[in-house]
């Protein structure tokens, strides 16, 4: 695994993002300044500073399709996530035994290179054919930690192609998913850490794939449900995702999924001190003016009379 790179940055990809969302350096500078001024005026939101703040806000703006209003809405959720979904967004430590165990039980891998379309590919795959070591909470935690790293290092992609490998998925894995927590993550987590999903590719379908799909579909928008595609042969996947981008497990030219997964675990380790420091950077609900419109109460776990969040957005 020595020398394997988790992700390769693309200046061409960044240029395509700017073009797609109508962004210019001057416009970004003005929007970032506007976001900083807005954050400063929110009494419940933390003061953020440092040499990378402007870059971070630019990256966040990209995930919000260069919309200031979406970014403001999303940032309010982002800084509230540790309170709204504490089991996933608090106490994030790459050395936590649960995180380490999760990295051995399930692969969460953003592939190193961009697609020609400018999208990135992310693969989710169980590495063990039993559920003894699998804990969905730490899988969710690893995913949001990876998204945090991408925000730190740069968003150079305009959307995601998601691959779900069910080859080693068993009924025990599915029974461990908590529907209530899943709903909160789809409704809240994807609002605070937005991603644009172009298509979901299910590969190596197992005998219980329909049960798993049914579990997740109930939390997806109809539009996203329609973008799920089942590939019974890896050749079919390669017609959608270039072979040179895929791990060798999928007949591609990149290192194995397990090695790439290890590279991402090493990448999270590089940010360990950042995650530990970031624990204290969150919203202070006691200073919020008015009620939190994202959740009327932690016990209720609904969104009150002020409407529900949008589902995962698709282009």
Q: At what angle do helices 68-78 and 25-41 cross, to 10 degrees?
A: 40
What per-residue confidence (pLDDT) applies to 110? 98
* CA dist., res. 140 & res. 193, Å (int): 12
Measured in whole angstroms, how far is the alpha carbon of residue 297 from the centre of its chain? 25
What residues pair up with 122 in beta bridges, in sequence order?
110, 162
Indicate the SS3 state at residue 39.
helix
* CA dist., res. 1 & res. 12, Å (int): 27
What per-residue confidence (pLDDT) applies to 218? 87
Q: Do the strands 106-110 and 197-203 form a parallel or antiparallel pair, or are they unpaired?
A: unpaired
Q: Do the strands 228-231 and 197-203 form a parallel or antiparallel pair, or are they unpaired?
A: parallel
Q: What is the mean pLDDT of each run of 10 residues along the chain (315 residues)?
A: 84 94 97 96 90 93 97 96 93 97 97 96 96 96 97 95 95 93 88 94 89 88 90 94 96 96 97 94 90 53 35 41
283-314 per-residue burial string, b: 16 or more CB within 10 A, e: under 16 = beeeebeeebbbbeeeeebeeeeeeebebbbb
What per-residue confidence (pLDDT) applies to 31? 97
Query: Where do we find the tokens 């936590």?
Result: 96
What per-residue confidence (pLDDT) applies to 50? 77
Q: Which of 132, 275, 121 is nearest to 203 (CA)?
A: 121
What per-residue confidence (pLDDT) applies to 211? 87
What per-residue confidence (pLDDT) applies to 294? 63
What per-residue confidence (pLDDT) applies to 1? 54
CATH, residue 63: 3.40.525.10
Indicate the SS3 state at residue 172.
helix
Measured in whole angstroms, how far is the alpha carbon of residue 50 from the centre of its chain? 24
Q: At what angle do helices 53-63 and 136-153 cross, to 10 degrees?
A: 120
Tell me which H or E stretch contains 229.
strand 228-231
What residues pair up with 231 in beta bridges, in sequence order?
203
> Residue 244 has what DSSP assignment?
G
What per-residue confidence (pLDDT) applies to 104? 96
What's the total number of domains in the chain? 1
**Structural domain that includes position 54:** 1-315
What per-residue confidence (pLDDT) applies to 293? 62
* CA dist., res. 137 & res. 177, Å (int): 9
């Amino acid at each position: 695994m020595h020398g394997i790179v988790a992700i390769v940055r693309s200046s061409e990809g960044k240029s395509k993002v700017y073009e797609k969302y109508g962004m210019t350096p001057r416009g970004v500078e003005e929007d970032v300044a506007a976001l900083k001024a807005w954050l400063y005026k929110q009494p419940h939101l933390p003061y953020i500073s440092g040499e990378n703040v402007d870059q971070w806000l630019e990256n966040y703006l990209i995930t919000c399709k260069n919309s200031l209003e979406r970014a403001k809405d999303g940032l309010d959720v982002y800084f509230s996530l540790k309170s709204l979904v504490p089991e996933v967004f608090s106490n994030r430590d790459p050395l936590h035994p649960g995180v380490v165990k999760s990295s051995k039980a399930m692969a969460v891998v953003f592939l190193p290179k961009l697609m020609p379309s400018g999208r990135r590919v992310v693969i989710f795959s169980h590495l063990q054919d039993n559920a003894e070591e699998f804990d969905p909470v730490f899988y969710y935690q690893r995913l949001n930690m990876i998204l945090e790293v991408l925000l730190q290092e740069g968003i150079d992609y305009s959307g995601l192609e998601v691959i779900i490998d069910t080859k080693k998925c068993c009924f025990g894995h599915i029974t461990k998913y908590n529907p209530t927590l899943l709903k909160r993550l789809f409704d809240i987590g994807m609002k605070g850490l937005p991603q644009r999903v172009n298509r979901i590719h299910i590969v190596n379908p197992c005998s219980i794939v329909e049960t798993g799909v049914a579990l997740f579909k109930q939390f997806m928008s109809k539009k996203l449900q329609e973008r799920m595609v089942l590939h019974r042969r890896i050749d079919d996947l390669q017609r959608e995702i270039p072979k040179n981008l895929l791990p060798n497990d999928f007949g591609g030219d990149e290192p194995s999924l397990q090695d790439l997964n290890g590279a991402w675990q090493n990448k999270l380790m590089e940010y360990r001190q950042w995650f530990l420091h970031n624990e204290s950077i969150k919203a202070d609900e006691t200073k919020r003016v008015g009620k939190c419109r994202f959740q009327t109460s932690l016990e209720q776990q609904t969104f009150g009379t002020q409407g529900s969040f949008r589902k995962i957005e698709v282009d």
